[in-house]
Every structure is written in structure tokens, then in C-alpha cells.
């Protein structure tokens, strides 16, 4: 793991990095095409291009690196060996110097790490998009991890989203047909909140309480006296990342167990407490030696209106029960604005629901054969203009990020079993206060 300089923070500097990546990528595509015509091997060319892509995004950190993390979850986008290379962005980005980390800790907590902890490892356990993680031990013997924010990362995020707004306008996303500014702003707002580690500590505490009753799910506890807005101290959870678990080729029983746990960890808090972990890439889950699943990194947690949750729950419950349901009324109840002829809207929603709810309509679904993600993309391309006339509420952006990421993880796990029953149990256990608040709002 090579050392990295502090990430560039200015708009032009970061845009220049992306432009250089684009140019190199285009050149790589051209060379690959020529070699294909000549019949020569292109694997090394692809590996070199993607390796450079990973290195640059890893050095940039911020939203640019999050884009790379999202790509690493795309099961169909890259061959397995190249996807593993991109997967390094989940937790193995180039770290910044240990001296810089020690300086940030002293500035934030008032003393150097060797005085604050009985033990502190200057070598990072992981280096992610907004900060890197170090192992430490408290004076009372507890193992902890220290998440230290990269210098200037808030400015880097602001630059990335300013550039994204420019790209959105250039791509026509703010045209009369579809104004995407609300969605860019939603992403900016939610991801920018990830730089507030005191807020993340509150979220970690809430998820620790939400998951503890499950028994086989857990979240680390924050240590407030060793935390600040840029340094977060949490109890340490040991295990292998979800990606490494998948790469270890586990047996069918283990795949099913972790898949079922994953659904409860991501969807459970949504239905029980109207909140969801909206950054479910494989680096944010650990499979422990005793068979539990740990959820990590609570920087991106979205809270929802109770009536929105109730609308989603009513729809999913009708699917698992095989009951009649009117999708058009359902999306409107959730806050979607529909500007299509009703017959066209119903046909579009029928196709969408058929793809999205396949695991809910059978007692034995095989995720190893799942094609819902590419099928949904194909539908989106085929009926783009129709989709542009159904406008989701801004909060649906983060729900889509969470649910889509969970689905990609389930595809990668490739388990086979009764997922319908898993969702049915979750829906029935929804905390009464969420439904009551939804009814009071109505």
C-alpha cells in the first residue's frame, strides 16, 4: 500500500485529475481495439488502465473515490480479476503519512496518540474515501479503532459536487424534461454530512441499539471521550470484509446465512426506525469468526418520512403475500410525481415491479442466476423518456443507493433460498410507531 499525498481539494485540480483519467481511459480503449483486431492479448492493457484508474481515484479520495467503490460492486461491468483490483477502493486506497495522522489527532483531541492510548498502530487498517482507520487500545484494555479524516476532505467533496452540477447541466439533466438539481443537492447534502464525525458517532450509537436485539448482527460502539468532529473512536470488531468472505468461496449454508443477515442489517432499520445505512459496499460489512455480521461506517445514514416508509412497506407486504396492489397509487403515496398518461404509467410500473420483486414472489430464489440489475438497466434504456416523467422524491435517491447496493451484494453472494420469508418477517416486525406516525401525517 503506497503512501499518498493529501488529496487535491480545488475544483480545477480535481476536475483535471478526472479529465486525465478520461483521456488515459480513451487511449486504453483505442489500444485495446487495435490489439483485438490484431488478435493479441488485451488483459495486461486492461489491468494497466484500471490499475491507474484505481490509483488516481484512491489518491483523490472524496466523492471521486466513492464512484470507484460503486463501480467495484457492478458484477457485470468487469471481469472478476479486474473487479477485485477496483475493489481495493473499498478499504485499501493509498494512505496519507502517519505523521500527518498523528498531527490531526493531536489537533483534535489535545494530545498525541501515544498519550491518549495504551497502544496505537501508525499503520492503517484501512484507507477509505473520507478518512483512514487505525487500530488502538484504551487504557482499560478495550480494543478500538480510530477513524481519522483526511485534511481538506470537506473542500474536496464540495469541489466534486460543484463539478458534478456542471456535468449535470451539460448532460441535460436540468432541462425542462427533467431537472436533476434536487437529486444532486440531496447527494451533496447527505455525503457532506459524512464529514461530521460527531454526527456519525450518534448514528453508530443508534445502530448499535437497533441491531443488538438481533443477536447475530452488531455495530461498534462510539467512545465519546476519544472522538471529535474529525476523529472518531469506536470499539473494534474483528472479522473479514464481505468481499473477502465472498472471495473465500464459502459453502451454500454460509452464503445463505450471510445473505439473510445482510437483508436484516440493511432493510430492518428502514422498516423499524425509518432510517437506512446508505453506503452498503462490501468493505462496510465484516463477517466475524463466530458467524455474526457487523455493519460499519455510519457516515451515510438516511432518515425518512414515516409516510414514505409506510408506502414502501405496504407495497412490499402485498408482494410477499401475493395480494392485489395498485403500483400507481403506491408511488404517488410515497411522494412520486407522475406526469404520464395513466395507461403508460401503469405499464411502465408493471415492468419495473416485475423485475424488482422477483425474490419476493417465490419460496426459492437463486441469486446466482439473478438478472434483475441488468434487466432493470435495459428497461431504463428502452423506456428512458417514460422514466423521466416519473419524478421520485429526493429522499428516494439514498434509498435507491442502499437497496441497489444490497442487491449487488446479494448477487455477489449468490445464495439460494426463501428470501420471501425473510422479507415477510421483517415487514411484520416493523415498529408500530412508524405506522402510527404515518397515519397521523395522513
Three-class DSSP category at 17: helix
- In whole angstroms, what is the distance from residue 281 CA to residue 401 CA? 10
Q: How many whole angstroms separate alpha carbon 186 and alpha carbon 279? A: 14
CA distances from 426 to 255, 258, 419 (A): 19, 16, 11
**Residue 416 to residue 251: CA distance in whole angstroms:** 11
**Cβ atoms of residues 364 and 66 within 8 Å:** no
Average pLDDT, the chain: 80
Q: What is the DSSP string of 150-211?
A: PTTHHHHHHHHHHHHHHHHHHTTTBSSS-B-HHHHHHHHHHHHGGG-HHHHHHHHHHHHHHH
Q: Which residues pair with 133 in a beta bridge?
A: 126, 147
Active-site option among 155, 247, 279, 386: 279
For residue 326, the model assigns a pLDDT of 92
The DSSP-derived string for 386-431 is: HHTTEE--TTHHHHHHHHHHHHHHHHHHT-EE-HHHHHHHHHHT--
46 φ/ψ angles, rounded to the nearest 5 degrees = -60, -45
At 252, give phi and psi (nearest 5°): -60, -40
Please state, in angstroms and rounded to a whole number, the distance separating the CA atoms of residues 213 and 208: 9
Catalytic annotation on 279? yes
Report the 10 Å Cβ neighbour count for 300: 23
Q: Is residue 215 scored above 90 in pLDDT?
A: yes
Q: What is the pLDDT of residue 191?
A: 78
Return the higher-pLDDT residue of 99 and 6. Answer: 99
Q: What is the pLDDT of residues 342-355, one digit of tens each?
A: 999 999 999 999 99
Confidence of residue 54 (pLDDT cuts 50, 70, 90): very low
Give domain limits for the chain: 11-90, 240-442
Does the pLDDT of residue 33 top 80, yes or no?
A: no
* HSE toward the beta carbon, residue 96, CA cutoff 13 A: 26
- Taking CA atoms, 25 is separated from 29, 58, 64, 272, 276, in Å, by 6, 16, 15, 44, 35
Residue corresponding to grid cell 481511459: 25
CA distances to 112, 160, 233, 434 from 306, rounded to whole Å, are 44, 32, 31, 5
Mean pLDDT of 45-54: 48
Amino acid at each position: 500500500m503506497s503512501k499518498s499525498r493529501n488529496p487535491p481539494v480545488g475544483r480545477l485540480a480535481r476536475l483535471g485529475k478526472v479529465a486525465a483519467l478520461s483521456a488515459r481511459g480513451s487511449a486504453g480503449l483505442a489500444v485495446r481495439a487495435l490489439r483485438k483486431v490484431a488478435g493479441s492479448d488485451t488483459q495486461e492493457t486492461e489491468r494497466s488502465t484500471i490499475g491507474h484508474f484505481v490509483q488516481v481515484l484512491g489518491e483523490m479520495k472524496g466523492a471521486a473515490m466513492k464512484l470507484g467503490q460503486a463501480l467495484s460492486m457492478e458484477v457485470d461491468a468487469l471481469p472478476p480479476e479486474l473487479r477485485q483490483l477496483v475493489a481495493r477502493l473499498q478499504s485499501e486506497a493509498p494512505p496519507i503519512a502517519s505523521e500527518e495522522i498523528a498531527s490531526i489527532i493531536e489537533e483534535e483531541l489535545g494530545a498525541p496518540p501515544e498519550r491518549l492510548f495504551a497502544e496505537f498502530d501508525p499503520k492503517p487498517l484501512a484507507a477509505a474515501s473520507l478518512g483512514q482507520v487505525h487500530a488502538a487500545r484504551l487504557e482499560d484494555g478495550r480494543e478500538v479503532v480510530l477513524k481519522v479524516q483526511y485534511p481538506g476532505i470537506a473542500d474536496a467533496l464540495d469541489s466534486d459536487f460543484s463539478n458534478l452540477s456542471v456535468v449535470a447541466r451539460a448532460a441535460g439533466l436540468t432541462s425542462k424534461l427533467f431537472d436533476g438539481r434536487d437529486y444532486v443537492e440531496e447527494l451533496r447534502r447527505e455525503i457532506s454530512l459524512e464529514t461530521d464525525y460527531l454526527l456519525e458517532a450518534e448514528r453508530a450509537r443508534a445502530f448499535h441499539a437497533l441491531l443488538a436485539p438481533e443477536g447475530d448482527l452488531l455495530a461498534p460502539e462510539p467512545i465519546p471521550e476519544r472522538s471529535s468532529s474529525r476523529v472518531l473512536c469506536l470499539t473494534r470488531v474483528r472479522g473479514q470484509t464481505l468481499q473477502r468472505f465472498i472471495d473465500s468461496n464459502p459453502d451454500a449454508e454460509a452464503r445463505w446465512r450471510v445473505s439473510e443477515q445482510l437483508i436484516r442489517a440493511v432493510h430492518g432499520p428502514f422498516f423499524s426506525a425509518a432510517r437506512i445505512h446508505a453506503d452498503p459496499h462490501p468493505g462496510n460489512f465484516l463477517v466475524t469468526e463466530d458467524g455474526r455480521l457487523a455493519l460499519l461506517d455510519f457516515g451515510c445514514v438516511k432518515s425518512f418520512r414515516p409516510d414514505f416508509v409506510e408506502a414502501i412497506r405496504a407495497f412490499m407486504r402485498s408482494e410477499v403475500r401475493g395480494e392485489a396492489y395498485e403500483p400507481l397509487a403506491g408511488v404517488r403515496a410515497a411522494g412520486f410525481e407522475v406526469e404520464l398518461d395513466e395507461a403508460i404509467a401503469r405499464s411502465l410500473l408493471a415492468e419495473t415491479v416485475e423485475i424488482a420483486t422477483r425474490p419476493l414472489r417465490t419460496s426459492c430464489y437463486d441469486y446466482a442466476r439473478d438478472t434483475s440489475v441488468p434487466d432493470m438497466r435495459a428497461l431504463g434504456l428502452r423506456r428512458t423518456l417514460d422514466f423521466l416523467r416519473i419524478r421520485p422524491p429526493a429522499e428516494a435517491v439514498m434509498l435507491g443507493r442502499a437497496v441497489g447496493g444490497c442487491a449487488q451484494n446479494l448477487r455477489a453472494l449468490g445464495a439460494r433460498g426463501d428470501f420471501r420469508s425473510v422479507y415477510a418477517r421483517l415487514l411484520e416486525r416493523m415498529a408500530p410507531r412508524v405506522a402510527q406516525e404515518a397515519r397521523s401525517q395522513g
